[in-house]
Structure 1
């Protein structure tokens, strides 16, 4: 397996998409690297705090899945050019900059961490 350069992973986050919702917060990612298959969501960390995966939902196209439902036997295809939304319930973000790390496992390259630095106004 090969690794994905960090500068490409940073480009996956859709700038300006981090926002609070009624139930928590959400952000979007657009696949700008290559078609991939997510076989597991490993972790979501926000400002150094790990978010329980039971509170995380992944929305892509017509699919709405709990992060825990993405498994090797039920993977999530993430074609190049497509967008997915990560929705977190139970926690709103304060105004200012936030550091988010989304760690996923892919069939193509194994485990990757998508680093996000984003601001909520």
Structure 2
């Protein structure tokens, strides 16, 4: 698969507006909207140009299944099913308000080392939001020591005063707030993240459902990325054999989801058109989620 094609695939993993500060660290979500895949390693995680050590990156699939980045290897890969999500937790200082750049590098079975760069915005609702009364003073000190955002510290201080009002906790938070640097003019002027908006993410999720199989999703997304291509060209950019790609494209054509040109190249309908053409399936999916 061409580098830019796999990069576009990987960009779809990131869930926009998932970047947030929590008591666990800085978190964001990856969701497999593409094909079933094996990740053989997390090679890079960089936030605003600052690399994060592998032991400080945790991937959580569920409460029972969590790994640090250095535990994922070719001998112990992370298998990610279609539509499965991974919460990525970074042990680092909490992010300030504004747009932040994320760079993620992965080792994917069959593709080698690949990666993508995107950005997302930390908004007020994404700041650390905890009840200090649920922490001992020592635990609160450890938590607040990684907070640099004045608004988060003000929130913690107000809740401490309104709640347990412990002298040592109040004094520590007052000191942290006094030392915190106010937002710069650049940080106060928000820019829009370049990642596709939530509507696009929803469309991609629905496409995965209505196209019914990872194989069909893979072929569709590859053609959409290329604009048009022959079965041979498309097979060369996926892990699928040419005869499988050809039969899938023929199925798409019979379902009015693709057109075959005189030169043998196939093009596919836009994502919105696909959903419109599969309204019955889409309605069934939506009903099942209600």
For normalisation by structure 1, the TM-score amounts to: 0.91
CA RMSD of aligned residues (A): 1.4
Distance in 1 separating the partners of 2:10 and 2:108: 13
Aligned length: 120
Which structure 1 segments of 5+ residues have no match?
none
Equivalent position of 1:26 in the other structure: 27
Query: What is the distance in 1 between the residues matched to 2:9 and 2:36?
Result: 13
Alignment of 1:1-121 (within 5 A): 2-3=1-2, 5=5, 6-61=7-62, 62-121=64-123
Give, in angstroms, the shift of residue 60 of structure 1. Answer: 1.2
C-alpha displacement of 1:31:
0.8
Q: Distance in 1 between matches of 2:81 and 2:110?
A: 12
Bigger fraction of residues in helix: 2
Higher relative contact order (CA 8 A, sep 6+): 1
Where 2:74 maps in the other structure, the secondary structure is coil
| Structure with max Cα Rg | 2
Note if contact 1:9-1:115 (Cα within 8 Å) is conserved in structure 2.
no
Q: For 1:63 and 1:3, how far apart are their aligned partners in 2?
A: 32
CA distance in 2, matches of 1:53, 1:47: 16
List, as ranges, runs of 4+ consecutive aligned residues in structure 1 with deviation greater than 3 Å: none
Cα drift, residue 28 of structure 1:
0.3
Secondary structure of 1:74's aligned partner: coil
Unaligned stretches of 5+ residues in structure 2:
124-290
C-alpha separation between the residues in 1 aligned to 2:8 and 2:109?
A: 20
SS at the partner of 1:9?
helix
Q: Distance in 2 between matches of 1:87 and 1:31?
A: 17
Over residues 4-61 of structure 1, what are the superposed CA-to-partner deviations in whole Å (9 max), with x where a residue is unaligned? 6233322211111110012421000111121110111111011111111111101113
Q: TM-score, normalised by structure 2?
A: 0.40
